[in-house]
Amino acid sequence: MGSLGPGRKWPGAAPALSEKSGYEAVHAKLGGTAGKFPVPVRSGAGTGFLFCKRSNDLLKGDDIVNYSFSERVKSLKPSAIREILKNSSAPGVIPLSAGNPAPDAFPCEDIRRISAELLESTPIEALQYSVTEGYSPLREHLLSYMRKKHGVGGESDDILITSGAQQVMDLLTKTLLNEGDTVLCESPSFIGSLNTFRSYRAKLRGIPMEEDGLDVEQLEAALKQEKNVKYLYTIPNFQNPSGITMSLEKRKRVYELCRDHNVLILEDNPYGDLRFAGEDLPSIKSFDREGVVLYAGSFSKVVSPGMRVGYAIGPKEVLQKMVVCKQGEDVHSNIWAQIVCHRFMTECDYEAHLQRLREIYRRKSDVLLEAMERYFKPLITWSKFQGGLFAWCTLPEHIDMLDFVKRAAQEKVCVVPGTAFLTDETESCHSFRVNFSTPTDQQLTEGVKLLGELAKKEAKR
Q: What is the DSSP string of 333-371?
A: --HHHHHHHHHHHHHS-HHHHHHHHHHHHHHHHHHHHHH
327, pLDDT greater than 50: yes
**pLDDT on residue 41:** 54
Is residue 141 located within the same domain as residue 240?
Answer: yes
Is residue 303 located within the same domain as residue 175?
Answer: yes
Is residue 370 located within the same domain as residue 331?
Answer: no
Mean pLDDT of the region 339-346: 98
Q: Report the CATH number at residue 402.
A: 3.90.1150.10
Mean pLDDT of the region 287-296: 97
Per the prediction, the chain carries an average pLDDT of: 89
The answer to whether residue 74 is domain-embedded is no
Q: What is the maximum span of the chain, computed from C-alpha positions, in angstroms?
A: 71
Please answer whether residues 49 and 37 qualify as being in contact, where contact means their C-beta atoms are separated by less than 8 angstroms: no
382, pLDDT greater than 60: yes
Is residue 47 located within the same domain as residue 100?
Answer: no
29, pLDDT greater than 50: no
**pLDDT on residue 14:** 47
**pLDDT on residue 70:** 83
Domain end residue (candidates: 319, 348, 377): 348
Please answer whether residues 345 and 354 qualify as being in contact, where contact means their C-beta atoms are separated by less than 8 angstroms: no
Is residue 337 located within the same domain as residue 389?
Answer: no
Taken in order 377, 382, 384, 387, the sign of the CA dihedral is negative
**pLDDT on residue 36:** 53
Is residue 344 located within the same domain as residue 356?
Answer: no
Is residue 301 located within the same domain as residue 369?
Answer: no
The answer to whether residue 75 is domain-embedded is no
Is residue 25 located within the same domain as residue 128?
Answer: no
Mean pLDDT of the region 439-459: 97
The answer to whether residue 145 is domain-embedded is yes
412, pLDDT greater than 70: yes
Mean pLDDT of the region 85-109: 87
The answer to whether residue 73 is domain-embedded is no
18, pLDDT greater than 60: no
Distance CA 453, CA 196 (A): 37
Distance CA 314, CA 291 (A): 7
The answer to whether residue 91 is domain-embedded is yes
**pLDDT on residue 89:** 66
**pLDDT on residue 3:** 43
Domain end residue (candidates: 42, 68, 94): 68
pTM summary value: 0.85
Mean pLDDT of the region 441-449: 98
Mean pLDDT of the region 355-374: 98
Domain end residue (candidates: 40, 68, 96): 68
Strand-pairing partners, residue 48, are 41
189, pLDDT greater than 70: yes
The answer to whether residue 212 is domain-embedded is yes
Is residue 150 located within the same domain as residue 273?
Answer: yes
How many domains, the chain?
3
User: Which residues have CB under 8 Å from 373's CB, separation 6+?
Assistant: none
Burial zone of 207 (CB within 10 Å; 0-12 exposed, 13-18 middle, 19+ buried)? buried
Is residue 286 located within the same domain as residue 304?
Answer: yes
Task: Tell me how long the chain is.
Answer: 461
**pLDDT on residue 88:** 63
**CB neighbours (10 Å) of residue 119?**
14
User: Which residues have CB under 8 Å from 426's CB, separation 6+?
Assistant: none
- Render pLDDT for 226-248 as a digit per residue (tens, 0 to 9): 999 999 999 999 999 999 999 99
The answer to whether residue 89 is domain-embedded is yes
Is residue 340 located within the same domain as residue 392?
Answer: no
Q: Which domain holds residue 86?
A: 80-105+352-460
**pLDDT on residue 402:** 94
The answer to whether residue 450 is domain-embedded is yes
Percentage of the chain beyond pLDDT 90 is: 79
- Render pLDDT for 48-94 as a digit per residue (tens, 0 to 9): 555 555 545 444 445 567 788 887 777 777 665 556 666 666 779 99
**pLDDT on residue 25:** 43
Is residue 64 located within the same domain as residue 173?
Answer: no
